[in-house]
Chains A and B, each alone.
Chain A
C-alpha cells in the first residue's frame, strides 16, 4: 500500500474477519480519502462488517484498521472524530429523542449547556425538533432513522459512517438527508455510506467500494472504476437533432454493439466496445455538420451500472 498521510485517511490494511468459520470480509485493503464513499454490494456481502470493523464494534481476525490515524482502543479520541449511524433499530428504553441525544453528548464530557445547544442543532438538521420531547418508542421508522442520524452527527465528527441511512425515509426526508450528506461531504468530512438506493446515493458519491461475498471487487472514483471494466461495452447518451441518422452512422463501425433511441426522440443511446474510437468518430460527425450534436454523456458509469457489471443482479440494490 502506498504511504499516505494517515491523519486524513480511513485505512484497512489486509483486514480479514471471520465469525467462527463464516467469512465476514477477506483481506480487504482500502485507503479512503475525505469525501463521500459509497459501499455497494448485495445483502451479506460484508458492508456492515466493514463499517463495524471501522468503528470497533467487531475486531479484525487479522490486519489493522485505522481512522484518521486513530484506533478504536483509544475511544476517548476516536469517537470524538467518528459518528456511526448503525442499522440497529433499537434504543435505550424510556427515553425521548432529546434525552437520547443529551445522554450521548454528555458522555463526551461536555458542559450541559453545550450539549443542549448541539442536541437542538442536530435535531434541527434532521428536522425532528417538534418530536424531540416525545418518547422514541412512539416514533415512526423514519423518525427513528432520523434520531439515529442526529445522534451520529450531533458532536460534529470528522468521519460519519452511515449504514443504510435512507431506509424507512419518505422521498422528501430522503432528499433532505442526501442534501445534508452532500453538504457534509463538501465541508471536507469523510462520509462512508452503504445504501441500497443507489441512484440517489450515486449522485453525491465521490468514490465507490464494491464488495461481494466478503471480497473487494473494485474501488475508486466511479468513472475510473467504470473505465476499468473494459470487457463491458460502455453506453453513451448523445443528444442531437437527428438521432436515427447518427445511430445508423455509428452502427456502421464495428465497435458499436447497440443503438437505442431515447424515449423522447431527442437522442440515442449507443453502446461501444472502444470508447476512444467512439469519441473520435463523434467528433468527426460533429465537424461534418450532418447531425447537430447538443450533448454527449456517459449513460452507465454510475454505481448501479458498475454494480450490475461486476456483481450482477442477484440480491442487488434498488434504483
Chain B
C-alpha cells in the first residue's frame, strides 16, 4: 500500500506541473479578456450593477435618517439573497460559463484550443478559472460597491457600523457567498453546456429546482447551490408571499459544513466535466 502510494506520488511529481500552470495562466488571460471586454458581455454588466445603480440613485436623492440603518441592512440582505443569488449571479454565470465551451463550438473556434499542446483537463479547468475570475470581478465589485453606497449615506454612523460594528463581517460573508455562488453555478453551467447544445432549458430547470429545493427532503437539499449558500447568510430575511418559499427554514447547518459541502459538489461536477472534455469531439456541423 505504501509502495503504491509512493509510486503515485512519484508519478504525480513527474508531471509537467510548471508547464500546465503556465498554459493555464495564458488561457485564463485570453478568456478573461474575452469575457470582460467583449461587447456581448454588456448584459452581464447590467445584471451585476443594476442594484448598484439603484442604490447610488437613492444615495444621491434621499436623505438617510440614522435609525434606518437596520432597515437598509435588511434591504441589502434581501438584495443579496433574492436578487444576486437567485437571479443576478445565476443568469450571469449562465452567460459566462456556458459560453466557454458551447459558445466556442457555436462560433467554430474551439478546435484551435483542442489543437494546442494543452491537456484537455488543463484547458477545461483554466476556462473554468477564467469564468470564475470574470464573474467574481463583476459580482464581487458590485457587492462591495452596494455595501459602500448603502452605508455612505449614513455618514459617521455608517462608518461606525462598517468598521466597528457588524458591517465588515457581513461584507466578508457576502463576498464568500458570491465566490461560492460563482464557483457553484459556474461549474453546473459549464457541465450543462457540454451536455446540451442549448443549455438554457436545462438551466431553467436548475432555476426551478433551486427555487423549490428548500421544501425538498434533506438529502435532495444537498444537490443545490442556493441551499448551501442560505446557511452562510449573515442576515436572515423573512420573505413574504411567494418569496417565503425561498426563505424556508431548513435544518441548521454550520457555515463551514455548508461551504465544504458546496466545494465538494463543485469538485464532483468539475471532475465529471473533465471526463466529458476528454471525450469531446469537434463536430460543428451538428451545432
Interface, chain A (partner B; CB < 8 A): 19, 52, 55-59, 73, 75-80, 82-84, 86, 88, 90-94, 103-104, 106-109, 151
Question: Counting CB contacts under 8 A, is B2 at the interface?
Answer: no
Question: Counting CB contacts under 8 A, is B5 at the interface?
Answer: no
| Nearest CB in chain B to that of A103: its residue | B30
Instruction: Name the B residues within 8 Å of A55 (CB-CB).
Output: 115
Say yes or no: A58 contacts B115, CB within 8 Å: no
Given contacts A19-B283, A93-B38, contact A108 B108 (CB under 8 A): no
Closest CB of chain B to A44's CB: distance in Å? Answer: 11
Give Cα distance in the complex from A107 to B22, angstroms.
Answer: 8
Q: Which of B60-116 contact A (CB under 8 A)?
A: 104, 107-109, 111-116
Closest CB of chain A to B284's CB: distance in Å? Answer: 7
Instruction: Name the B residues within 8 Å of A76 (CB-CB).
Output: 16, 19, 117-119
| Nearest CB in chain B to that of A89: its residue | B108
Say yes or no: B108 contacts A90, CB within 8 Å: yes
Question: Counting CB contacts under 8 A, is B281 at the interface?
Answer: yes
Closest CB of chain B to A273's CB: distance in Å? Answer: 44
Say yes or no: A58 contacts B283, CB within 8 Å: yes
Q: Can you list the 3 inter-chain pairs with the closest CB atoms, starting with the nearest? A: A79-B117, A90-B108, A57-B282
Given A55-B115, A75-B120, A78-B117, 18 more A-B residue pairs with CB atoms under 8 Å apart are: A57-B114, A58-B282, A58-B283, A76-B19, A76-B118, A79-B115, A86-B111, A86-B115, A91-B109, A91-B112, A92-B104, A94-B38, A104-B112, A107-B113, A107-B117, A107-B118, A108-B117, A109-B19
Q: Which of B265-279 contact A (CB under 8 A)?
A: 278-279
Instruction: Name the B residues within 8 Å of A92 (CB-CB).
Output: 30, 34, 104, 107, 109, 112
Instruction: Name the A residues within 8 Å of B120 (CB-CB).
Output: 75
Residue with the highest number of chain B CB atoms closer than 10 Å, among A78, A106, A151: A106
Give Cα distance in the complex from A212 to B30, angstroms.
Answer: 41
Instruction: Name the A residues within 8 Å of B108 (CB-CB).
Output: 88, 90
Question: Counting CB contacts under 8 A, is B221 at the interface?
Answer: no
Say yes or no: A108 contacts B116, CB within 8 Å: yes
Instruction: Name the A residues within 8 Å of B159 (CB-CB).
Output: none
Give Cα distance in the complex from A77 to B111, angstroms.
Answer: 17
Closest CB of chain A to B186's CB: distance in Å? Answer: 21
Question: Counting CB contacts under 8 A, is B224 at the interface?
Answer: no
Closest CB of chain A to B100's CB: distance in Å? Answer: 12
Give Cα distance in the complex from A52 to B282, angstroms.
Answer: 8
Instruction: Name the A residues within 8 Å of B282 (CB-CB).
Output: 52, 57-58
27 A-B contacts, Cβ less than 8 Å apart? A52-B282, A56-B114, A57-B111, A57-B281, A58-B282, A59-B279, A73-B278, A75-B117, A75-B118, A75-B120, A76-B19, A79-B117, A79-B118, A83-B115, A86-B111, A86-B115, A88-B108, A88-B284, A90-B107, A91-B109, A92-B34, A92-B112, A103-B26, A104-B116, A107-B27, A107-B118, A151-B112
Closest CB of chain B to A154's CB: distance in Å? Answer: 12
Give Cα distance in the complex from A3 to B38, angstroms.
Answer: 52
Give Cα distance in the complex from A103 to B38, angstroms.
Answer: 17
Say yes or no: B26 contacts A106, CB within 8 Å: yes
Chain B: interface residue total (CB-CB under 8 A): 29
Instruction: Name the B residues within 8 Å of A77 (CB-CB).
Output: 117
Instruction: Name the A residues within 8 Å of B284 (CB-CB).
Output: 88
Closest CB of chain A to B29's CB: distance in Å? Answer: 9
Instruction: Name the A residues within 8 Å of B30 (CB-CB).
Output: 92, 103
Closest CB of chain A to B19's CB: distance in Å? Answer: 5
Question: Counting CB contacts under 8 A, is B23 at the interface?
Answer: yes
Say yes or no: B34 contacts A94, CB within 8 Å: yes
Say yes or no: B34 contacts A93, CB within 8 Å: yes
Give Cα distance in the complex from A83 to B116, angstroms.
Answer: 9
Closest CB of chain B to A243's CB: distance in Å? Answer: 52
Say yes or no: B281 contacts A59, CB within 8 Å: yes
Q: Which of B168-198 contact A (CB under 8 A)?
A: none
Give Cα distance in the complex from A78 to B108, angstroms.
Answer: 22
Per-position 1/0 for B27-55, Cβ under 8 A of A:
10010001000100000000000000000
Instruction: Name the B residues within 8 Å of A82 (CB-CB).
Output: 115
Give Cα distance in the complex from A228 to B117, angstroms.
Answer: 40
Give Cα distance in the complex from A73 to B123, angstroms.
Answer: 13
Give Cα distance in the complex from A76 to B123, angstroms.
Answer: 11
Closest CB of chain B to A157's CB: distance in Å? Answer: 10
Say yes or no: B115 contacts A84, CB within 8 Å: yes
Closest CB of chain A to B120's CB: distance in Å? Answer: 7
Say yes or no: B26 contacts A75, CB within 8 Å: no
Instruction: Name the B residues within 8 Å of A109 (CB-CB).
Output: 19, 22-23, 117
Instruction: Name the B residues within 8 Å of A151 (CB-CB).
Output: 112
Give Cα distance in the complex from A88 to B285, angstroms.
Answer: 10
Give Cα distance in the complex from A88 to B22, angstroms.
Answer: 28
Give Cα distance in the complex from A76 to B104, angstroms.
Answer: 21
